[in-house]
Amino acid sequence: MADRLITDVGGLPAGEVPREEVPQLYWEKLMIAMFNVLVAKGFLTLDEFRRAVEEMSPETYRKTSFYNRRLDCIARLLDEKGLISADVLARRTDAILAAGTRDHVG
């Protein structure tokens, strides 16, 4: 039998499902909106996104949140397609954080 992908959890025990409501952070809402626009405009496809998720290491997948996984995959796909380089994105992110505009970060 082939090894399972990190996303292939069918038939595995999942434990308790958390029932408490967790508020969605502003950046999470923006990231989902950005993803939807990128797909709607044809810059990314859902199949490409799924591939990016499935290529994550199990350790990275387990230790990052749902939204951070999505953000990482979007950034990797945009870099892969030459739409924005990882270096430019990292420099811009560093500049925003250095300016102290972290009110949207949880």
Q: Note the pLDDT tens digit of each residue in 52-106.
A: 998 998 889 889 999 999 999 999 999 999 999 999 999 988 888 888 766 555 4
Is 0.75 topped by the overall pTM? yes
Q: Note the pLDDT tens digit of each residue in 1-18.
A: 457 666 665 677 767 878
The tokens for 96 are 């925003």
Quick one: pLDDT at residue 69?
Answer: 94
Assess whether pLDDT exceeds 60 at residue 27: yes
Q: Cα–Cα distance between 15 and 13 in angstroms, integer? A: 6
Relative orientation angle of helices 46-54 and 66-80, to the nearest 10 degrees: 110
- 2 found inside a domain: no
Mean local confidence (pLDDT), 32-37: 97
- 20 found inside a domain: no
Residues in the chain: 106
Token look-up 């999942």 returns 14
In the chain, the number of structural domains is 1
Quick one: pLDDT at residue 33?
Answer: 97
The residue segments making up the domain with residue 51 are 44-106
More confident: 98 or 32:
32
For residue 100, what are the contacts with CB-CB under 8 A and spacing of at least 6? Answer: none
